[in-house]
């Protein structure tokens, strides 16, 4: 047995941020979720020991205020929203998460208390007086660089640079985490592990921030009680970000299930760039203080822009994911956002662009290719995979080599978080197969009985090309890929699609001649676009 077959599968633990429970899910949230899901599905299919975690962030002043305004207790408010909005979102965009954590789960509250107690016992926490400007929108005491003078109704006041709303001056006795003590260790971490924070622009921003000097972090609040009590002083609740960041370890057994924790941790965190500092500075400092390993990677993606601005509910540019999936389906949603936006950069959303890519790339490029090839197998070979002749032509070899090449490149691009480039690489094969069919003209070969072998070779090449595509596209468009897989007869012959080792997808010849195929429904039906730009 080869050595690598004996090796343990490597662990791949991937997370999304946990979402503020009282925001209505919009496509910005769904974007983070889908990106993490594509990576999770890819690694799972590669045989890595994968665990995909998502969830909701339920404590803090912002949630307490909304619940109170709606006349409900905060826990009841959170329960309602998790059931009516956040869990349904997982189905809307076809997520394959292994776990869903809520910060009101007992496992989380117990883990946070243990973590805090450890930091306190080890001397990383002290009590102090505090006075600073707080933004409830960000749930953060704002650094000077993000405090600006208000305009219009807020003229004369200090406002948050992100939310443009007045800041609140808070004066409290707080517990502080001695974060400043970790400045040098953090800088050494960014230096020694250049891929710890990605992309490079995010890394540079984090380094510049830490180089300016780190202050200690206030980690408790006394002015309200919707939070996890500080274990040694129940008149305080834990600062919501300190509580929220810990979800990544409390969900994987911290302080409760050592074997699970050992198996999963450290994680790869996918976050929006607006919450980079929490994940790349505060979080590793917390872990260092607790004597735990820092995350494997923190990857910050860009913002979805609508009409040139960060899409947000408060600015009324928010779009609910099901507004898109109801018309285009979840596969198209996933494909569009992963393909059209460079992962790590901002990207604009428009209905026109979505509709155009749907039609050109999914319906005409990929869907049509699948139906044409299967229809020709039906017509010329009684619905079975034809037997390729022994005379491989240069055009056939080019497809075979391209399949191996794109499979390898896509895997490499995924490991570098360049999801859009991985998909673009796979699409080279879609385009090449379409070009190959146009050039080889199988319908013309079919008219000449002397060309029967050549026809079989051409259709074997295209059918096997579809097999490669189904495997490589399963993480991105799981539903269409599964339909194609079944139609190819591959389910019977090779087993479940998710069980196909994606790193071997490019190995040619796995689909065996004679395999019985099935009819395929149109993968991406034509969509009538209404007059409102949708
Ligand atoms: N609760 C915190 C995260 C705690 S993690 C320990 C939070 N929640 S959030 O609901 O406001 O945001 C969650 C994610 O959605 C973030 O990654 C954020 O960047 C992302 N997005 C929210 N609006 C977005 C866009 N317009 N575009 C892209 N992503 C956006 O922050």
Q: What is the CATH number of the domain that holds 441?
A: 1.10.730.10
70 lies in some domain = no
- Exposed, middle or buried by CB within 10 Å (0-12, 13-18, 19+), for 42? buried
205 lies in some domain = no
Out of 18, 24, 28, mutate this one to test ligand 1's pocket (max ligand atoms within 8 Å of CB): namely 28
406 lines ligand 1 (CB under 6 A): no
Q: Which atom of ligand 1 is nearest to the CA of 311?
A: 26
User: Any catalytic annotation for residue 315?
Assistant: no
138 lies in some domain = no
Residues 534 and 131: their CA atoms lie apart, in Å, by 49
289 lies in some domain = no
Catalytic, out of 160, 269, 279, 483 = 160
Q: How far is the CA of 432 from the centre of ligand 1 (A)?
A: 38
Atom 6 of ligand 1 has which residue's CA nearest to it?
Answer: 245
Residues 118 and 180: their CA atoms lie apart, in Å, by 18
* Domain count within the chain: 1
324 lies in some domain = no
Q: How many CA atoms lie within 13 A of 433 on its CB side?
A: 28
Residues of the chain with pLDDT under 70: 1-7, 313-317, 529-534
pLDDT at 1: 38
User: Any catalytic annotation for residue 269?
Assistant: no
Q: How far is the CA of 196 from the centre of ligand 1 (A)?
A: 20
Give the pLDDT confidence of 337-370 residue by residue, as tens digits.
999 999 999 999 999 999 999 999 999 999 999 9
399 lies in some domain = yes
Kindly report whether the global pTM for this prediction surpasses the value 0.85: yes
Residues 243 and 112: their CA atoms lie apart, in Å, by 6
pLDDT at 529: 67
514 lies in some domain = no
pLDDT at 69: 94
Q: Which atom of ligand 1 is nearest to the CA of 304?
A: 27
User: Any catalytic annotation for residue 310?
Assistant: yes
18 lies in some domain = no
Find the domain containing 366 and state its range.
351-504
pLDDT at 224: 87
Residues 496 and 498: their CA atoms lie apart, in Å, by 6
pLDDT at 532: 45
- Exposed, middle or buried by CB within 10 Å (0-12, 13-18, 19+), for 449? exposed
């Amino acid at each position: 047995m080869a050595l690598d077959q004996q090796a343990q599968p490597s662990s791949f633990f991937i997370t999304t941020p946990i979402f503020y429970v009282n925001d209505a899910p919009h496509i910005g949230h769904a974007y983070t979720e889908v990106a993490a899901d594509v990576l999770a599905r890819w690694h799972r299919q590669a045989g890595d020991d994968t665990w995909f975690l998502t969830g909701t962030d339920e404590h803090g002043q912002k949630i307490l205020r909304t619940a109170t305004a709606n006349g409900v207790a905060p826990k009841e408010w959170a329960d309602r929203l998790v059931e009516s909005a956040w869990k349904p979102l997982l189905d809307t965009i076809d997520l394959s998460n292994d776990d869903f954590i809520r910060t009101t789960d007992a496992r989380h509250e117990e883990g946070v208390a243990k973590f805090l107690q450890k930091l306190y016992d080890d001397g990383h926490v002290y009590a102090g007086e505090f006075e600073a400007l707080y933004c409830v929108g960000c749930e953060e005491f704002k650094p000077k660089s993000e405090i600006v003078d208000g305009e219009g109704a807020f003229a004369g006041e200090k406002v948050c640079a992100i939310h443009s709303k007045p800041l609140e001056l808070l004066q409290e006795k707080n517990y502080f985490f001695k974060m400043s003590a970790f400045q040098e260790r953090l800088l050494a971490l960014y230096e020694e592990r250049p891929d710890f924070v990605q992309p490079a622009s995010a890394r540079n921003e984090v380094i510049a921030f830490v180089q300016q000097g780190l202050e200690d972090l206030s980690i408790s609040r006394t002015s309200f009680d919707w939070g996890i009590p500080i274990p040694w002083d129940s008149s305080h609740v834990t600062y919501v970000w300190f509580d929220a960041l810990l979800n990544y370890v409390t969900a994987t057994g911290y302080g409760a299930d050592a074997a699970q924790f050992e198996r999963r941790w450290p994680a790869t965190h996918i976050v929006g760039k607006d919450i980079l500092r929490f994940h790349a500075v505060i979080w590793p400092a917390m872990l260092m203080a607790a004597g735990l390993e820092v995350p494997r990677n923190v990857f910050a993606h860009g913002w979805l822009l609508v009409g040139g601005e960060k899409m947000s509910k408060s600015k009324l540019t928010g779009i609910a994911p099901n507004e898109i999936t109801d018309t285009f389906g979840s596969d198209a949603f996933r494909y569009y956002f992963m393909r059209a936006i460079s992962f790590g950069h901002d990207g604009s959303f428009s209905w026109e662009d979505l509709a155009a890519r749907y039609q050109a790339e999914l319906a005409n490029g990929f869907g049509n290719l699948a139906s044409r090839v299967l229809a020709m197998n039906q017509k010329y070979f009684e619905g079975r995979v034809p037997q390729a002749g022994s005379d491989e032509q240069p055009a056939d070899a080019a497809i075979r080599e391209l399949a191996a090449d794109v499979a390898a490149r896509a895997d490499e691009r995924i490991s570098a978080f360049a999801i859009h480039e991985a998909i673009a690489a796979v699409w080279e094969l879609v385009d090449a197969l379409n070009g190959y069919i146009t050039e080889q003209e199988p319908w013309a070969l079919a008219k000449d009985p002397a060309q029967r072998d050549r026809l079989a070779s051409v259709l074997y090449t295209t059918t096997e090309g579809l097999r490669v595509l189904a495997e490589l596209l399963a993480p991105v468009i799981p539903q269409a890929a599964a339909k194609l897989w079944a139609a190819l007869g591959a389910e019977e012959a090779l087993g479940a699609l998710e069980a196909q080792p994606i790193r071997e997808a490019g190995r040619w010849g796995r689909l065996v001649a004679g395999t019985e195929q099935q009819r395929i429904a149109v993968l991406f039906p034509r969509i009538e676009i209404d007059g409102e730009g949708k």
